[in-house]
Amino acid sequence: MSDNDVTRIDGRTPDQLRPVTLERGWSKHAEGSVLVSFGDTRVLCTASLTEGVPRWRKGTGEGWVTSEYSMLPRSTNTRGDREAVRGRIGGRTHEISRLIGRSLRAVVDFKALGENTIVLDCDVLQADGGTRTAAITGAYVALADAVTWAQGRKLIRSKAQPLTGAVSAVSVGIIDGTPMLDLCYEEDVRAETDMNVVCTDDGRFVEVQGTAEGVPFARTELDALLDLAVKGCAQLDGGQRQALAAD
């Protein structure tokens, strides 16, 4: 396909991911922790497991998984206000925190997790596009480590695996008419259409969020983007497996 003759800002082909690293055990305190990078995007993901669940879930025998996403003020090109100083969380932060939480919960068997709560903190140390997809991809690995840790301590005693699959995410977009995988910031700004796709390791969808930044997009474009995203997630899934096997 001729699209792949297009060379991108950073020399990649349209269907190529940026270099991905998943550095486990980055924090000595957290039950699971990963410093994930998608190119220059770097997100520190920590999984904090505590016994017990929020009040509305008590006595159900089921656990809970949630997430909080945030960007350091100077993770971006120009310094942003610190949300703690402004005293309120912005809409974008809320939206992404919720997306990460939903994405991870899609592969959790809460009965098997038992009445434990896992909070995934995803703090963007450096941003260059795709922070939410890097966060989901990294947070899954931190989550897996926290589950293993809790099984080792018998905090999780169920025979069933609390994780029913793996989950990863990638952004795709159309730039100058060409569908591209894993947009860096400069590409993201120029994209006519921008889509974040969250897949499980069996190639099914957990979340599909497509937005026309400029002109509305046609069904054929949507289809091409979905194809690209599924392919990208499959590669990320491979990276997650490798990282988790490394120990």
Q: Among 93, 163, 168, which residue's Cα sits nearest to residue 135?
A: 168
The nearest distance, CB 112 to its own copies, in angstroms, is 15
* 124/243 with CB nearer its own copies: 124
Phi-psi region at 222: left, alpha or beta (left = phi > 0; alpha = psi -120 to 50): alpha
CA–CA separation, 142 and 22 (whole Å): 10
CA–CA separation, 22 and 193 (whole Å): 28
Q: Which one among 23, 62, 115, 123 touches its own copies, defined by CB under 8 A?
A: 123
Distances (CA, A) of 193 to 4, 180, 218, 221: 18, 10, 10, 9
Site for its own copies in 166-225 (CB under 8 A): 195, 199-200, 202, 204-212, 215-219, 222
The nearest distance, CB 185 to its own copies, in angstroms, is 10
Given a contact cutoff of 8 angstroms between Cβ atoms, the answer to whether 172 and 211 are in contact is no
The nearest distance, CB 13 to its own copies, in angstroms, is 23
Name residue, tokens 């029913």: 164
Residue 130: burial class (beta carbons within 10 Å; 0-12, 13-18, 19+): buried
Q: What angle do CA 218, 183, 191 make, to 5 degrees?
A: 40
Interaction of residue 149 with its own copies, rule CB under 8 A: no
- The interface mask with its own copies, positions 81-120, x = CB under 8 A, is -xxxxxxxxxxxxxx-xx---x---x------------x-
The nearest distance, CB 5 to its own copies, in angstroms, is 27
The nearest distance, CB 28 to its own copies, in angstroms, is 6
130 is in an annotated binding site: yes
Annotated binding site: 92, 130-132
Residues that bind its own copies (CB under 8 A): 27-30, 33, 40, 44, 46, 48, 50, 68, 70, 72-79, 82-95, 97-98, 102, 106, 119, 121, 123, 125-128, 165, 195, 199-200, 202, 204-212, 215-219, 222, 226, 230
